[in-house]
Amino acid sequence: MKKPVAIITGGSRGIGYGCATHLAKSGFNLVIAGRRPERDCADALDALRTLGADVLYLICDVADAAQRNSLVSETLKRFAQLNILINNAGVAPKVRNDILKAAEEDYDFVMETNLKGPYFLTQAVANELVKQKQADPNFKGCIVNVSSISATVVSTNRGEYCLSKAGVAMATQLWAARLAEYAIPVFEIRPGVIATDMTSGVKAKYDSFIADGGIPLRRWGFPDDIGRAVATIARGDIPYSTGQVIMIDGGMTIQSL
């Protein structure tokens, strides 16, 4: 049997690479989409191949419609099938500004990549998944949106980021409702404080936050933590669920007195 195929946006480093690693271990072939030249990702891609995955790297800025369409068509050209989409690529605002001072260009930059891009990439992939399901009732596929606790946890110095993730949360439910008739589940993974390039500049802040008990499990999260959850969904290990949020935040968002 052919191995299932997963597209992972932003899959060459950070959370996306954690997802790619666990999908490769779970028997998936991979399409890694990113904005960097392939040579800059060569070591990461080779490591995935050593896990048994056939890996295709494609340049794709998810904010660009033509590149999104090319990502889907090149995936099908190479593998003749597509099973999983992991919407992981995301950006922070170029400048963290108080919402009283935030610039429209920062808002547009974040929304194009974090919300509009994944929404329409999901549309393109969903149509292909539906076609495959209609052709083969035994077809298995799913979509996973990697969001953030910022979907509900306020940061007034990066409001555009919070709004983009709140939009992803609603998009998850919309696509889950629309694709349920085809038995194609859609999930949202909501990470907390994860050690990646995006959080490296505020490491001291979060080290102190963790030490003070702000995260009940008292440690940073890692891309591996996210990858394990994504692989669980992709393998179909939660079959009677869709449209749900899976919190991977060390208990940070538990409400307590």
Helix, strand and coil content of the chain, in percent to the nearest 5, comes to 50, 15, 35
End-to-end Cα, the chain, rounded Å: 53
Helices (H), the chain: 14-25, 42-50, 65-79, 104-111, 117-135, 159-179, 203-211, 223-234
The upper half-sphere exposure of residue 105, i.e. CA atoms within 13 Å in the direction of its Cβ, equals 2
Other beta carbons within 10 Å of 153: 14
Residue 78: which of 8, 30, 147, 21 has the closest Cα?
30
Burial 48-65 (b: 16+ CB within 10 A, else e): beebebebbbbebbbbbe
Query: What gap in Å lies between CA 11 and CA 116, rounded to an integer?
Result: 19
Residue 249: which of 211, 212, 210 has the closest Cα?
210
List, edge to edge, every strand of the sheet that includes 84-87: 55-59, 29-34, 5-9, 84-87, 142-146, 186-191, 245-248
Among candidate residues 161, 182, 206, 240, the one labeled active-site is 161
161 in active site? yes
Active site (catalytic) residues: 161
